[in-house]
Homo-oligomer: A and B are copies of this chain.
Amino acid sequence: MATLKDVAQRAGVTVTTVSRMLNSRVRVSPETQARIQAAMQELGYYPNEMARSLARKNSSFIGLIVPSAQNYFFAELIHHIEAASESHGCKLLLCVSNQDAQKEQEYYQMLIGNKVMGVIMANYGQNFEAISRSKAPMVVFERPDNQQIPCAMTDDFQGGHLAGEHMIGKGCRHLLYLSGNAAKNNISKRRFDGLAAACAEHGLTQPALIEATWDEFVAMNYDASVSRIFQEYPNVDGVFTSNDIMAAGVVQYCRRHHISIPKKLKVVGYDDTSFAALCAMPLTTIHQPIEELARHAVECIIRRANGDAVPTTALFPVRLVERETT
Contact = CB atoms under 8 A, between A and B. Distances in A.
Interface of A: 1, 44, 46-51, 53-54, 59, 61, 68-70, 72, 75-76, 78-79, 82-83, 86, 91-96, 109-110, 112-115, 133-134, 220-221, 245, 248-249, 251-252, 255, 274-275, 277-282
A49 B91 contact: no
Given A48-B115, A49-B115, A278-B245, A83 B96 contact: yes
A79 B82 CA distance: 15
A292 B110 CA distance: 26
A299 to B, nearest CB: 18
B48 A133 contact: no
A44 B129 CA distance: 12
A317 to B, nearest CB: 23
A136 B92 CA distance: 19
Contacts of A249: 278
B59 A50 contact: yes
Contact of A82 (B69, B112, B221): B69
Nearest to A109: B46
A217 to B, nearest CB: 12
B46 A113 contact: yes
A61 B113 CA distance: 13
A7 B86 CA distance: 36
Given A48-B54, A50-B115, A113-B49, A274 B96 contact: no
Contact of A279 (B79, B114, B220, B279): B279
A252 B280 contact: yes
Nearest to A249: B278
A96 B68 contact: no
Given A96-B83, A279-B280, A281-B280, A70 B59 contact: no
